[in-house]
Amino acid sequence: LIYITRRFNFSASHRVYNPNLSDEENLKIYGKCSNPNGHGHNYIMDVTVAGEIDTETGFVMDLTELKDIVNKDIIYKVDHRNLNTDVDFMKGILASTENLAIKFWEQIENKVKTNKRRLHSIKIQETINNSVEYYGKSKQGK
Ligand SMILES: [Zn+2]
């Protein structure tokens, strides 16, 4: 298998909090990220596809096609938005980077998949020091 990766950038705001807890308890768990009026991040996301090389094109996947899928189904929906209130697939879900990675995966998994390739990972960097990687529900190795 060969792995290909495309990087994306988006800026979004959120408040990470559990609505069942008090502001004090939320502050204890989520720190600055629980600020009641929210705050923003410049996220960096790496989307990796694993597959076999197509003998006609020499590609695992045309990166422009990957770019178009991710832009349409993820980036245009989250860039310069509030992740708590503006994004249909994040409604009712705690806007942590972990949950973002899982929900992003769900948006594009089936569109990337063919009999020769599949989504391998989504890595989201929230700050210079913090990042999350998601590899799907189960290892679907060959
Ligand atoms: Zn945050």
Task: Please give all residues whose CB falls under 5 A of ion ligand 1, grouped by chain where several chains appear.
Answer: 33
Q: Is the pLDDT of residue 135 over 60?
A: yes
Coil/strand/helix, residue 86: coil
pLDDT of residue 33: 86
Q: Is the pLDDT of residue 140 over 80?
A: no
Centre of ligand 1 from the C-alpha of residue 39, in Å: 6
Confidence band for 141, pLDDT divided at 50, 70 and 90:
very low
Contact between 88 and 74 (Cβ < 8 Å): no
Centre of ligand 1 from the C-alpha of residue 30, in Å: 9
Confidence band for 32, pLDDT divided at 50, 70 and 90:
confident
pTM for this prediction: 0.92
φ, ψ for residue 35, nearest 5 deg: -40, 120
